Structure 1
Amino acid sequence: MIISDDAGYHDFGFQGSRTMKTPHLDELAAQSVVFRQAYVSAAVCGPSRAGLFTGKYQQRFGFEENNVPGYMSASGLTGEDMGLPLTETTVADHLKGLGYATALFGKWHQGDGDRFHPTRRGFDTFYGMRTGARSYFSYSEEELAQRKNERMERGFGHFVEHQGYLTDVLAAETNAFMEQSVKDGKPFFTTLSFTAVHAPMEAKLDDLAAFPHLTEPRKTLAAMNLAMDRAVGSVMSKLDALHIAQNTLVVFMNDNGGPTDQNASNNYPLSGTKATHLEGGIRVPMLMRWPQQISMGKTYRFPVSSLDLFPTFVAAAGGDIAEMKELDGVDLMPFVQQESQLRPHQTLYWKKENRAAIRDIDWKVIRYPDRVPELYDLSTDVSESHDVAAQHPQIVNKLLKRLFAWELTLERPLWQLKREFEGSAIQRMDEFRNHTPDKSMN
């Protein structure tokens, strides 16, 4: 499982970009099923990953807000208390139970407290940071004194800074783990959780030199993207060298929409950005390759969700997902293998405090806290440029009732953001409501 962080929907060659250089990911896409309507369950990092790792809407267990320390809670929680609840089992827990060696390299962002640590949530091996972002270069001792929550950690409690560029290091760690697993004769599940291309915007000089025609900040973004692409190529080459590529399931996806204001990402043709429920905040690039099981070079056009990866991985490993009635995701294999012509999901939901959205078939309603809802027909208006709520009030009412019914099944948020953070997100929605995506950045 390879996760990019804050990448733009359009910012890959296989997504149509003529600016970004992503030859290794483009090659992977040519060998994969390319999902054209892949969604994450949240428009920001922490909740999105909580849904991915559990196969459940994270709002069902109270992980509705981002878990960054410094956000306040009405119940008096501190940053150490915020994380993936211990009541939840992860996909790594299940695969470990099926005899798999499990590892996570890079970003965790599911709780800084010791009890939420990856090695206590199903991962045998961990090298990364508990928090959500950090420098791509190693910190000095003086810097570490001010940034303790951003320290690189090997296993549990052994903090050691990396040497070199972080994106390269995470790929090297992944390769070493895969090689050792093969030597040990064990199947493996590894999550390569890049921080790229999340801020801070830091790139290697050689990678910057590859884009002399670009200006900042797109130049640095392109260089960071190139480094990530090279790292993915390194992992794919290692699978070939270990002679296991044919029977290894590989998934690449982004964790949420690109934050166009923070890293100059491009979500064309989608409107919206990270932290919004417009398509640009929740629809992401996604690839799936499994040569022995899936025909290469296919495009899958029905909506799928990151929630589907839990049951897909467990079923692929021989687990019995029929017993897992609590999952909201589905095994994607019957769909990508064309055994089923049905949609994996008729309805998908998103919610963060008073803001929410529902997609039913191709109709999508976005609910705001301060105005009337909007309705879009995604079959003809993927850019969400034409609000048709006034023309179809019955559809709006029907979907809002369905959304309300779903919300009644959820837990209260375990913590909440400070009001200024939620207000900022609403302002972003305003900025993109009538936005026509800019082709000039392609």
Structure 2
Amino acid sequence: MTPLRLGILAPIVSFVAFAFVGCGNANDPSGPNPAPLPNIVWIISDDQSFTDFGFMGHDVVQTPQIDDLAAQSLVFRHGYNPTSLCRPSLATMITGRHQHEHGLTFNDPEPGVRRGIANQLLLQQRPAPSLLAEAGYVSLQTGKFWEGSYRNGGFSEGMTVGERHGDLGLTIGREGMEPIRDFVQRHKDEPMFIWYAPFLPHLPHNAPAEYEAPFADLGLHELTLHYYASILWFDTTVGELIDLMKEEGEYEETIFIFIVDNGWVIAENEADRLVDRSDGTIRPPHWKSKQSQYDLGVRTPVLLHWPGHIAPGISYELVSSIDLLPTSLAAAGLDIPESLPGLNLLPRALHGEPLARNAVFGSIFRHTAKEWDRPDANLFFRWIRAADWKLILPEIENEPLELYHIAEDPLENMNLAHHPEQAERIRELRVRLDAWWSPVAESKDKSNK
């Protein structure tokens, strides 16, 4: 690595030489032996249940590459996305803010509103690539990205130029890794931020036959077989990405952060999922999966891997996708804006310091907005996970209040909300949930409908 990579800052040095200040800055600019800024790679799986990994205990799904990454990482087994839908989940990661704060609560605005208007919501934020650029980072967007051009996310380079899901960006992984290799080869003298969010294992579950072969004789439902094959395909691309960084001499100086955007559970009847009806009402959530308020929709493992710095281990502490940005800023030696609600996970990962958190929060909104500029108008559910308990508060009619003891009931099958002995617990959790909730409901200009 050349000295040019030192950039403007004196970055992170080694495990023992880290110095953290209260705001989360990981670097000491006055240090005598500044080390190179680490590359930062976010690996984002697309539509995969938290259960569907070998390292999470699944005995049929095959994820050998991610399992190997997990064996070398600090694994947070109780990670959460505040929402369980693609676009708002990705927007939460890149902004470090909950969806009612950044405003992108939906996949699509209401009919009659041009998508470009909604795309402007991200421009009102300071997304990860823009903030990291202050430390000299160059950034690459690949895979899923909803906000029009990669430039709208602050990336210096990217594959997506304007379509709904990510147009050319969606070929990454499915059609090789050359755009990433090209980027890495051109920027070896600079710290790099890489967004790897392939359209995998997302539908269409059309993995090549070689990925279906391991499951062919297991008697699986056809839909399940195709899903598992797509997971194995995604897993293979994760291995290819890590091998690429090794081949280019960047692996040892790279922090890898792995997460899933939202869950997925195979439903033989896809109408069982939580969907909007044409009349604007919704069907109750018959399936605990993507777009639902349950852990099979919102929970995810979170992996932190930094060769030679972060010791492998397992944590059962609560973390959230809002933590990715402050953690990355700290790694880059940047101050963390006080307005960001997430935590810097590096003190925990490097020194074992307990996280200053005992609850995470989330909310579930309409797939297609009723009013794109009023998050509260599109709200279905709010939820809080505090210690082992999870409260789900409905914001629509004819839906029950739900309370689950996640440690004993991880798939949320036994609703305890109507047990009299839980009344005080529900009251306390609801107070905390209401204190967290502060939707941005101000009306915005709709003149460009």
Which amino acid letter does the alignment assign opposite residue 46 of structure 2? D
Do the aligned partners of residues 380 and 245 (structure 1) sit closer, same or farther apart at CA in structure 2, a change above 3 Å counting?
same
Query: 1:38, 1:283 within 8 Å by CA — same for their partners in 2?
Result: yes
Q: Distance in 2 between matches of 1:283 and 1:211?
A: 25
Do the aligned partners of residues 278 and 413 (structure 1) sit closer, same or farther apart at CA in structure 2, a change above 3 Å counting?
farther
Deviations 1:151-182 (A, max 9, x none): 426xxxxxxx96xxx52435332232223221
Do the aligned partners of residues 20 and 359 (structure 1) sit closer, same or farther apart at CA in structure 2, a change above 3 Å counting?
closer
Q: Give 1:123's aligned residue.
A: 155
Query: 1:218, 1:263 within 8 Å by CA — same for their partners in 2?
Result: no
User: 1:341 aligned to 327, 346, 354, which one?
Assistant: 354
Aligned length: 367
Q: Give 2:60's aligned residue.
A: 19
Bigger CA drift: 339-348 or 13-22?
Answer: 339-348
Deviations 1:168-217 (A, max 9, x none): 435332232223221xx111000011110111221213323343214411
Q: Distance in 2 between matches of 1:40 and 1:8?
A: 12
Question: Secondary structure at 2:187's aligned position in 1?
Answer: helix
Q: Distance in 2 between matches of 1:179 and 1:241?
A: 10
Bigger CA drift: 202-211 or 309-318?
Answer: 202-211
User: 1:284 aligned to 300, 306, 330, which one?
Assistant: 300
Pairing 1:60-209 to 2, within 5 Å after superposition: 60-66=101-107, 68=108, 71-72=109-110, 77-83=113-119, 84-109=121-146, 111-112=147-148, 117-128=149-160, 130-131=162-163, 133=165, 151-152=167-168, 166-169=172-175, 171-182=177-188, 185-209=189-213
Q: Give 1:157's aligned residue.
A: none
Normalised by the length of structure 2, the TM-score is: 0.76
Do the aligned partners of residues 377 and 45 (structure 1) sit closer, same or farther apart at CA in structure 2, a change above 3 Å counting?
same
Q: Distance in 2 between matches of 1:93 and 1:259?
A: 35
In percent, how many aligned pairs have the same letter? Answer: 29
Question: Secondary structure at 2:175's aligned position in 1?
Answer: helix
Question: Secondary structure at 1:253's aligned position in 2?
Answer: strand
Bigger CA drift: 168-177 or 21-30?
Answer: 168-177
Question: Secondary structure at 1:88's aligned position in 2?
Answer: coil
Structure 2 unaligned blocks of 5 or more: 1-41, 271-286, 366-378, 445-449
User: 1:325 aligned to 331, 338, 341, which one?
Assistant: 338
Deviation at 1:348, TM superposition (A): 2.4
Do the aligned partners of residues 80 and 248 (structure 1) sit closer, same or farther apart at CA in structure 2, a change above 3 Å counting?
same
User: 2:391 aligned to 365, 369, 384, which one?
Assistant: 365
Q: Distance in 2 between matches of 1:276 and 1:2?
A: 23
- Does the alignment pair 1:310 with 2:346? no
Deviation at 1:59, TM superposition (A): 0.5
Q: Distance in 2 between matches of 1:262 and 1:290?
A: 40
Q: Give 1:418's aligned residue.
A: none
Do the aligned partners of residues 414 and 108 (structure 1) sit closer, same or farther apart at CA in structure 2, a change above 3 Å counting?
farther
Normalised by the length of structure 1, the TM-score is: 0.77
Do the aligned partners of residues 262 and 246 (structure 1) sit closer, same or farther apart at CA in structure 2, a change above 3 Å counting?
farther
Deviation at 1:294, TM superposition (A): 0.6
Q: Distance in 1 between matches of 2:215 and 2:409?
A: 33
Q: Distance in 1 between matches of 2:323 and 2:59?
A: 31
Q: Distance in 1 between matches of 2:315 and 2:132?
A: 26
Do the aligned partners of residues 213 and 413 (structure 1) sit closer, same or farther apart at CA in structure 2, a change above 3 Å counting?
farther
Which amino acid letter does the alignment assign opposite residue 99 of structure 2? Q
Which amino acid letter does the alignment assign opposite residue 198 of structure 2? F
Q: Distance in 2 between matches of 1:262 and 1:90?
A: 38
Which amino acid letter does the alignment assign opposite residue 91 of structure 1? A
Which amino acid letter does the alignment assign opposite residue 318 of structure 1? G
Deviations 1:23-82 (A, max 9, x none): 11111111111111000121111111111001111211322222x3xx416xx5232322
Do the aligned partners of residues 106 and 129 (structure 1) sit closer, same or farther apart at CA in structure 2, a change above 3 Å counting?
farther
Do the aligned partners of residues 171 and 41 (structure 1) sit closer, same or farther apart at CA in structure 2, a change above 3 Å counting?
farther
Which amino acid letter does the alignment assign opposite residue 392 of structure 2? I
Question: Secondary structure at 1:82's aligned position in 2?
Answer: helix
Pairing 1:344-423 to 2, within 5 Å after superposition: 344-352=357-365, 353-368=379-394, 369=396, 370-389=398-417, 390=419, 391-407=421-437, 409-412=438-441
Deviation at 1:350, TM superposition (A): 2.5
Which amino acid letter does the alignment assign opposite residue 228 of structure 2? A
Do the aligned partners of residues 413 and 11 (structure 1) sit closer, same or farther apart at CA in structure 2, a change above 3 Å counting?
farther
Question: Secondary structure at 1:287's aligned position in 2?
Answer: strand
Structure 1 unaligned blocks of 5 or more: 134-149, 154-160, 265-270, 416-442
Deviation at 1:263, TM superposition (A): 11
Question: Secondary structure at 1:330's aligned position in 2?
Answer: coil
Question: Secondary structure at 1:288's aligned position in 2?
Answer: strand
Aligned-residue CA RMSD (Å): 2.5
